[in-house]
Amino acid sequence: MFYLGIDFGTSGARAVVIDENQTIQAQSDYSFSNNDHQTQQWRKALFTLINDLPIALRENLLKIAINGTSSTVLLCDEIGTPLTEPLLYSYRTSQEIINRLTQIAPADHVVQSASSSFAKLLYWEQEGIISQAHYFLHQADWLAFLLHGQLGISDYHNALKLGYDVENLCYPPWLKQHPNFSILPQVFSPGTPIASITNEMAARFKITPQCQICTGTTDSIAAFIASGANQLGEAVTSIGSTLALKLLSSSPVQASEYGIYSHRFGNFWLTGGASNTGGQVLRQFFSDKQLKELSLKIDYTQPTNLDYYPLLEPGERFPINNPNQLPKLSPRPDDDFKFLQGLLESIARIETQGYEKLQELGATPLRKVYTAGGGAKNEVWQKIREQFLKVPVKPSPNTDAAYGTAILARSGLS
Ligand code: ADP
């Protein structure tokens, strides 16, 4: 039997089928062409991805789960037809909405952000369109509805930024009192089977009618699941343009001034934060080819002790909260490889301080770090980071969100 995970990311969508051993059996990709008619495009992507999979696998699919981008939301009527274009993860509401947020939700709550799902609900209230809506759904909820036909269902990863209380597994009183509370989805654990695929979809795609459609997750949590990290103290550092840390902890930690919050993760908590340092600063000075060549010249056993703070522009939130933090990139040694070593060491120091900050706030001590993103392939950096972090560091065997969502479909979260 097989399990299908589908990732809806920022530039395209992707499907991965795994077997009982989590071995990949098939995959398909779809690139979004433009930003018009988003929901039509999502529907087309979903159907094309499924159709591109081998029929022999489709006939034996046991479960399907879908992840979307966090805080990408839409309003639907009573039969699930979208009433507006969705508001994407990146959409930021106005200052007026931010002021409303502070009146309604507790200070320091994760919804207190211009792009949170709850801020988007307030935006639609302001626009007057909400009175026609029967359902407020996340991208992943709506896509799953296309397969199981159930409206008003979500998961606690997508619902975190809507204001769902993931500690007590209920909506909080301030949200229950909100005038449009009735259109919010019922929330389940990610990867919970909700219903069998509809007869129409089963016939259309030759999928077994017994196939269960599960609740989904968000793209970044799906990528975390893909890494294989699943024990307390295991973490994934993503070194792409910026530096993002995620650590599995026995208790939740939150510190909004540092942008730190926690997702529920079965019986554990997935906590983390994001720094403005990262690969984009390296790219300011070196091409990827130069990064590769210069790294080979670095002797990681001889630290430079150059104490940089690599940033593109002033301002940092995590691990230090200082909107005026200046980039520090001098003194620059004559040798380019030494300069690069200083940059790599400094980013490793910031990563270490990030994990220290999480632990200071009560997170489980760090035991092992997987690495994702463009920086993961640099072996010298891995050695440097091991010296700073004092735990084993290795590349994530897989960073594909669709693969993580296929694992979620197979195993759930607990
Ligand atoms: P994103 O998706 O966040 O834009 P990627 O995960 O694609 O980023 O990673 C791109 C980053 O990886 C670039 O900013 C680049 O500086 C960094 N990078 C690429 N190759 C190397 C390397 N060999 N060593 C260190 N960093 C690298």
- Across the range 124-140, mean pLDDT stands at 96
- State how far the Cα of 224 lies from the Cα of 67, in Å rounded to an integer: 12
- For residue 37, what are the contacts with CB-CB under 8 A and spacing of at least 6? 85
| pLDDT tens, residue by residue, 352-406 | 999 999 999 999 999 999 999 999 999 999 999 999 999 999 999 999 999 999 9
Q: Which atom of ligand 1 is nearest to the CA of 375?
A: 26
- Across the range 189-196, mean pLDDT stands at 98
Predicted confidence at residue 35, as pLDDT, reads 67
Binding site membership of 288 for ligand 1 (Cβ less than 6 Å): yes
Least confident of 30-39, 119-128, 393-402: 30-39
- Residue 414 pLDDT > 70: no
Binding site membership of 273 for ligand 1 (Cβ less than 6 Å): no
ipTM of the complex: 0.97
Supply the residue whose CA is at minimum distance from atom 20 of ligand 1.
288
**And the tokens for 278?**
């990262």
Whole-number Å distance, alpha carbon 399 to ligand 1 midpoint, is: 14
**Contact present, 404 and 246 (Cβ < 8 Å):** no
Binding site membership of 292 for ligand 1 (Cβ less than 6 Å): yes
Predicted confidence at residue 10, as pLDDT, reads 84
Helix (H, G, I), strand (E, B) or coil at 159: helix
| pLDDT tens, residue by residue, 317-357 | 999 999 999 999 999 999 999 999 999 999 999 999 999 99
- State how far the Cα of 126 lies from the Cα of 296, in Å rounded to an integer: 56
Question: In 3D, which of 121, 109, 35 has the Cα closest to residue 71?
Answer: 121
- Across the range 145-168, mean pLDDT stands at 98
Predicted confidence at residue 234, as pLDDT, reads 98
- Residue 316 pLDDT > 80: yes
Whole-number Å distance, alpha carbon 281 to ligand 1 midpoint, is: 10
Using a pLDDT cut of 70, give the percent of the chain over it: 100
Q: Which domains does the chain have, with CATH numbers?
A: 2-220+403-411 (3.30.420.40), 231-396 (3.30.420.40)
**And the tokens for 116?**
């949170």
- Residue 45 pLDDT > 80: yes
Predicted confidence at residue 34, as pLDDT, reads 75
Predicted confidence at residue 116, as pLDDT, reads 97
DSSP 91: -
- State how far the Cα of 63 lies from the Cα of 6, in Å rounded to an integer: 11
Binding site membership of 310 for ligand 1 (Cβ less than 6 Å): no
- Across the range 254-266, mean pLDDT stands at 95
Question: In 3D, which of 255, 292, 295, 290 has the Cα closest to residue 273?
Answer: 255
Predicted confidence at residue 36, as pLDDT, reads 73
Whole-number Å distance, alpha carbon 366 to ligand 1 midpoint, is: 24
Predicted confidence at residue 138, as pLDDT, reads 98
